[in-house]
Amino acid sequence: MPAELSPIDKAKFVAARRAADYVEDGMRVGLGTGSTAAWLVRCLGEMVREDGLRFRGVPTSTRTAELAREVGIEVIGLDEAKWLDVTIDGADEFDPELNLIKGGGGALLQEKIVATASDQMIVIADAAKEVSNLGHFPLPVEVVPFGWRTTQALIEESLVAMDVLGRDMTLRMAGDRPFVTDEGNHILDLHLGRIGNPRQMAMVLNQIPGVVESGLFIDICDMVIVGHGDGRVEVRDINAGTVTEDRLDFVESENLFSDLGD
């Protein structure tokens, strides 16, 4: 029930609820992956059931697709949609220029493909995700399994010339086995502390053989909606150069809060 939610979960909910207002009938909408994006899917599912909202969703992971179907959202693939009106997703970090680190949930490749195939990307987050410099959250880098240790060594070599605080790197695990993405790849998490030049970092990483994609989202996000535990919501639109704030009433909904296994 809502009263049992932590302030962080309440912040995620109000950000997701505010972002849901940007979805209109007939749209093709990218649906992100992660705990905050799951709140969005639940909110949109309730709007489908209660308000008759009709749109088609393009999920960025198998678990988002499963949740979307469960709550009644029509799910299609990106090849069928071709282009999207908006993608709404969470982030692990965002900086003042709305550059992002994503991939904590392991879906960074599909998330980036879907986001860049959209007219607009909206990020929903709690206030703790805002940072002055990216890099405190480990940077995920998706790599092909073949020769991943060689890829790791090449990344380590490239980091020597980068403006970072640390260069530690770990292979993401799922229990006693390497984590496997929806595309069958592995993820290396780079513990950098601070990334002085995210744009340069993204370019260098994507030139390394074996690297599929990095979790740096540069010049992709158009708007960040920041939720707070007291119901305040801040909307930052980088294209319009505006920052607005309002407050959402935290209303109980059995449909929305009945299944929180996320």
179 with 228, same domain?
no
Determine the residue type at 72.
G
Cα separation of 224 and 240, whole Å?
A: 12
For residue range 55-102, list pLDDT tens digits in order. Answer: 999 999 999 999 999 999 999 999 999 999 999 999 999 999 999 999
CATH for 50:
3.40.50.1360
**Residue 82 in contact with residue 127, Cβ under 8 Å?**
no
For residue range 187-230, list pLDDT tens digits in order. Answer: 999 999 999 999 999 999 999 999 999 999 999 999 999 999 99
- Does residue 262 lie within any of the structural domains? no
66 with 154, same domain?
no
Question: 67: which 2 tokens?
Answer: 């949740």
| Global pTM exceeds 0.95 | no
pLDDT given at position 262:
40
Is the confidence at residue 103, as pLDDT, over 50? yes
Question: Active-site residues: which are they?
Answer: 111
Range of the domain at 68: 2-130+219-257
Handedness of CA 142, 174, 95, 249 (dihedral sign): positive
Please enumerate, by residue number, every residue annotated as part of a binding site for substrate.
Answer: 33-36, 89-92, 102-105, 129
Please enumerate, by residue number, every residue annotated as part of a binding site.
Answer: 33-36, 89-92, 102-105, 129
**Structural domains counted in the chain:** 2
114 with 233, same domain?
yes
Concatenated DSSP letters of 129-176: GB-SSTTSSPEEEEE-STTHHHHHHHHHHHHTTS-BS--EEEE-EETT
- Does residue 103 lie within any of the structural domains? yes
